[in-house]
Structure 1
Amino acid sequence: MPRTSASILVVGAGPVGLSLAIELARHGVRPTVIDIALEPSPFCRAIGVSPRTLEIFEAMGVAREVVGAGLRITGRRAVIHRGADEIVHDETVDLSDLPYAQYGVPQNRTEEVLLDKLRELGIAPERGCRLAALAEMDEGVTVELERQGQAERRRYDWVVGCDGAHSAVRKALGIAFEGEAFPFEFMLGDVAIDWDLPRGMTLQAIRPATDAPPDFFVAIPLPARGRYRVSMMAPVETEGEPAEDVAHGIQSDRPGATLAQLQAVSDRLLPGRPQLSDMRWSSIFRISMRLAERYRSGNVFLAGDACHIHPPTGGQGMNTGIQDAANLAWKLALVCRDLAPAALLDSYEAERQPVALAVIEDTVKRSVGLGKPAEPPHRLHDTQLLVSYAGGPLAPEAAGGGPAPGDRMPDIQGLRQVGIGFPLRLFDLTRSPGFTLLAFPKAGEFAEVEALAARLAAAWPGCFATVAILPAGQAWDDPPGIAVVEDAGDAVNGLFGGEPPALLLLRPDGYVAFKGAMAAEPLLGYLQEVIALRPPVTDRRSHRA
């Protein structure tokens, strides 16, 4: 992937900032990453890693490492107290038809994997570095950084704030972060529990209340046997005053919960009153629901908790932020490489802000309704695989069934390629940075696909891969620049209801960009008018000469 000299500052080296930096580097842009903390946080702020996040991690080349650091979530045990009755119900989670299941990975382990990848790419975060000031200019951004009492002024073309709920970038921009907070506090703890809960199962024990928040105890399994991260309501007598500003997240400046306090809730709600022990850390935390008024101001962007916070129900927070990073990275890289105008970046907020709003509304509804009768959610509800940008600025309407522009492209398994003695997945063929053109040609359309692939390669070198997927029994004589695979299991027809499109263009983040007939001009028109792709600078200079 060609490199660029454009400068980008990523503020924050948590999972969102690290993911953004890795994706930018994969797309040919080397950012600078800073973080105010001298060391990564020891707190297990997030655990859940969604199937969609693991797909992004696969493209980064770290999915195996993240899976290896975690534990597959196999199901949930619900304990509901209604009067004197105690109802216990186990349900399993079967995601075996997906590329990845839901995993529980302590955030510090996720960060370690991402840090290792970033260092492999030749980038190391500058730690103990605080953003003290930020000023937008006509061309770029000036920042003032402080480290060990020394101030330094730098200029960057672009700045992205991935610096959490108390974002210094957002405050410097004066972007409103409106919302509200729950009027009570919660406790977290990393403990061992002696009980019979099957490995990989989560637990949710609830005693509903009519005009008050429910009494609850939630346990999320950690990779070490018998260890869990538990959460529950905090008693009103917890010490210390809540922090000012945005009331959200771990209150690290206050005493944590005691083991006795956690045990008391366990004794009230868990069958058999299992013993909690070996508490490694605990905290008091608060929950707010807030959404940034905008995600962009000139050449400065917000991502992750810097622009959206919400209850932890369903483990959506970190995953939503990583999807922000994946959405922004490829667009910002194209602009930095002068392959697209800055207007393309307007689609970041247009696509991601509605997703965050939906997550806030959903998690608040589920939190407030905890323990109350409700329709069971779709089995993929918390996987983030159902997120779609359909109807957005980069997703024109298209006819036909199956994935449409704006939808995530599902994986296709069982593909066979001549000369390779094992089955392939579609994701094996699409994980390189850049766009992927999927062609489903009929026997008489091979020459058109080959010509189109050649036009794309000539117009935008290194930006496109072309994959032709043929029905079982059909062959093509190894055309140049095209990966030809056979759909041995007829999965394509199943995905598209028996009528696959002739052409399907995938964005670098794995979403469908364009869907159409076997014709070059509509596809090229989409690239030139909607994405507004430009030829490389050298080609433009040659043309002017």
Structure 2
Amino acid sequence: MSDSAGRHIPVLIVGGGVTGLSAAVFLAWYGVPALLVERRTKPLDEPRARALHPRTMELYRAVGLEGAIREVRSPIAGHDVVAHAETLAGPELLRLPNHLDADAGSLSPCKWATIDQNQLEPVLRDRAVSAGVDVRYATEVVAVDDRPDGVVALLRSRRTGHEQLVRADYLVAADGSHSPVRRMLGIGHDGPGTLARKVNVHFDADLREPLRGRRVIVMTLRNPAVHGFLSSIDGMKRWRFAISLKPDQDTSINETESVRLVRAAIGVDTLPIVIDRVSDVPWEIAGRVTRRMCTGRVFIAGDAAHTMPPVGTFGVATGVQDAFNLAWKIGLHHRGLAGLGMLLSYETERLPVARHTTRMTAERYCLVNGGPGDARESAVRQRMMMFGYTYPAGAFVPDDVTPHLVEDPDQPSGAPGARAPHIPLAHDSGLMSTTELIGQGFVLLTGSTGWERAAADVAARSGVRIDHYRIGDSLRDTTGTFHRRYGITDGGAVLIRPDGFIAWRTRTTDPEALAGAVDRVLFR
């Protein structure tokens, strides 16, 4: 594939779902131009994911997007029922904890955001376009050539058939669970595989009587006639019933059959139903993780890297975390401030998290769909994974404390490779969190004087932004837990990366050590 006439762009993003659009927003935040292509003709028109958890919102807050997201609310905002029953009209067999009610106040300044995926994608697209990203729908990648100095890709318009060659310094493949880019590169995947197949039936019905005043997020309905998930589309009359198929069952369900199955699930034989549509192709609930998240200058992210069951919004969350992790690293490498190891650390850090999260969500899906089980204990594990995931190796300087792959966020280690704990801080205009200091560059937190000159000198020499804050000066620790939760003494210091993970810490006053630590983090 010749690249003699190809247009050059620093980053080509393939896939315009939440992960791809988030990558576009984050890259623009770090000043890296990008072209995003999406084979669909427009953003998603179905809800799919219905909320964003607090850790995800921390990242959107860091780039100034939280307000725009919170202005849009899902039609099921305020709904609180997640339960199992034989029929909607019958008694509940099990009610699960509603994660949207979970109090994250001790762990994060951010709360859950109830926004549907088809509402979120336009918000992300508009922000990306306003920041200068070239976003093209109805455009697919038909060939990829990964080279030592970059990537050459052949684009094709699905409207006109016109083809265009593009040369990119980096390619982000966020093109879904069946990623064409990943297949072109011959990258396989592992994991438990297909856990269930579903056919969506969209219908209108008045379910006020069988609901009995309940505000349903999702109901798992299982009886001898049918098994599936019932969820509200608009919070009133429009519904989606995802019917589970048996392994040997025909994938086609006609309208007459869908009416019978919906009535069997609701438990009202004469229920008036208007079928809107029945999906032609079933969709899968699966657990799969790519064997590589980077090869050369190509990076695999989101569902293209890890397909997981729809449990606790971790699919969306893990994709957004991929995108942020990658964006700040590409930003530094693109500006010549970090070595090649910075790019390679994306896979080193994110692949273990992808494997663990996929395994956890697959286990939890099987638990809550195979019987009562201990779903509440599983919810505790979910909270730990939300805030307590760590990196075993990567763009940080390890010290004598090695955190577990997932640590208890209520008892943080403060070790390099772990998320910087949330501490409420008082300042002249009110309260803020340590997590709100992240976003653009590195942050140096210290408990004493003697670090100001070192932070300024290292920033000037390295070219990276280092914002220094002394706790106890203009920012006051309101809980008295800063030193304990970060594992340092009053004379020590902790360096936090742009994504809110700890890059380095020292328990003693040693400003001269900062320069070497920054060089190691940047792989220079």
Which category of TM-score, normalised to the shorter sequence, fits these structures? 0.7 to 0.9
Write the mapping of 1:330-409 to structure 2, written as runs, cut at 5 A: 330-369=328-367, 370-375=369-374, 376-379=377-380, 381=382, 384-392=386-394, 394-398=396-400, 402-409=413-420
Write the mapping of 1:489-500 to structure 2, written as runs, cut at 5 A: 489-492=479-482, 495-496=485-486
Residue aligned with 1:157, SS: strand
Q: Which residue of 1 aligns with 2:185?
A: 173
Cα deviation, residue 279, structure 1: 6.0
Which of 146, 162, 176 does residue 174 from structure 2 map onto? 162
Question: Does the Cα contact within 8 Å between 2:144 and 2:151 map onto a contact in 1?
Answer: yes
Which amino acid counterpart does residue 94 of structure 1 have in structure 2? A
Deviation string for 1:407-461 (max 9, x for gaps)?
1123332x3334x3x3333344333x111111122xxxx2x12212221332234
Q: Distance in 2 between matches of 1:319 and 1:61?
A: 17
- 1:523 equivalent to 2:519? Answer no
Q: Distance in 2 between matches of 1:68 and 1:258?
A: 40
Question: Does the Cα contact within 8 Å between 1:69 and 1:105 map onto a contact in 2?
Answer: yes
**5+ residue gaps in structure 2?**
1-7, 403-411
Deviation string for 1:286-336 (max 9, x for gaps)?
233222121111111111111211222332212211111111111111111
Pick which of 293-302 and 277-286 moved more.
Answer: 277-286
Pick which of 353-362 and 365-374 moved more.
Answer: 365-374
Deviation string for 1:455-476 (max 9, x for gaps)?
1332234522112211xxxx5x
User: Do the aligned partners of residues 208 and 381 (structure 1) sit closer, same or farther apart at CA in structure 2, a change above 3 Å counting?
Assistant: farther
Q: Which residue of 2 aligns with 1:35?
A: 38
User: Do the aligned partners of residues 188 and 158 (structure 1) sit closer, same or farther apart at CA in structure 2, a change above 3 Å counting?
Assistant: same
Q: Which residue of 2 aligns with 1:440?
A: 447
Q: Distance in 2 between matches of 1:303 and 1:355?
A: 12
Which of 108, 117, 122 does residue 107 from structure 1 map onto? 117
Q: Which residue of 1 aligns with 2:5?
A: none
- 1:504 equivalent to 2:502? Answer no
Cα deviation, residue 124, structure 1: 3.3
Q: Which residue of 2 aligns with 1:78?
A: 83
Q: Which residue of 2 aligns with 1:140?
A: 150
Q: Distance in 1 between matches of 2:490 and 2:394?
A: 23
After TM superposition, the score normalised by the length of structure 1 is 0.79
Pick which of 355-364 and 22-31 moved more.
Answer: 355-364
Question: Does the Cα contact within 8 Å between 2:287 and 2:307 map onto a contact in 1?
Answer: yes
Write the mapping of 1:146-545 to structure 2, written as runs, cut at 5 A: 146-147=156-157, 148-179=160-191, 181-182=193-194, 184-189=196-201, 193-194=207-208, 195-196=211-212, 198-199=214-215, 202-205=217-220, 207=222, 216-220=227-231, 224=235, 229-234=240-245, 239-240=251-252, 260=259, 263-268=262-267, 282-283=278-279, 284-369=282-367, 370-375=369-374, 376-379=377-380, 381=382, 384-392=386-394, 394-398=396-400, 402-413=413-424, 415-418=425-428, 420=429, 422-431=430-439, 433-441=440-448, 446=449, 448-461=450-463, 463-470=465-472, 475=473, 484-492=474-482, 495-496=485-486, 502-517=492-507, 518-533=509-524
Q: Which residue of 2 aligns with 1:11?
A: 14
Q: Distance in 2 between matches of 1:391 and 1:367?
A: 29
Residue aligned with 2:148, SS: coil
Question: Does the Cα contact within 8 Å between 1:184 and 1:286 map onto a contact in 2?
Answer: yes
Question: Does the Cα contact within 8 Å between 1:73 and 1:202 map onto a contact in 2?
Answer: no
Pick which of 376-385 and 219-228 moved more.
Answer: 219-228
Which amino acid counterpart does residue 186 of structure 1 have in structure 2? K
After TM superposition, the score normalised by the length of structure 2 is 0.82
Question: Does the Cα contact within 8 Å between 1:398 and 1:516 map onto a contact in 2?
Answer: no
Deviation string for 1:142-192 (max 9, x for gaps)?
111112212222211111111112222112211113456437521335556
Q: Percent of pairs identical after alignment?
A: 27
Which amino acid counterpart does residue 26 of structure 1 have in structure 2? W
Q: Distance in 2 between matches of 1:384 and 1:207?
A: 29
How many pairs align? 486
Deviation string for 1:204-248 (max 9, x for gaps)?
445599xxxx964434555745665543414776554xxxxxxxx
Which amino acid counterpart does residue 14 of structure 2 have in structure 1? V
RMSD (Å) for aligned C-alpha atoms:
3.4
Residue aligned with 2:156, SS: strand
Cα deviation, residue 105, structure 1: 2.1
Q: Which residue of 2 aligns with 1:243?
A: none
Residue aligned with 2:470, SS: strand
User: Do the aligned partners of residues 203 and 459 (structure 1) sit closer, same or farther apart at CA in structure 2, a change above 3 Å counting?
Assistant: same
Cα deviation, residue 393, structure 1: 5.8
**5+ residue gaps in structure 1?**
241-253, 476-483, 534-545
Residue aligned with 1:58, SS: helix
Question: Does the Cα contact within 8 Å between 2:198 and 2:242 map onto a contact in 1?
Answer: yes
Cα deviation, residue 511, structure 1: 1.0
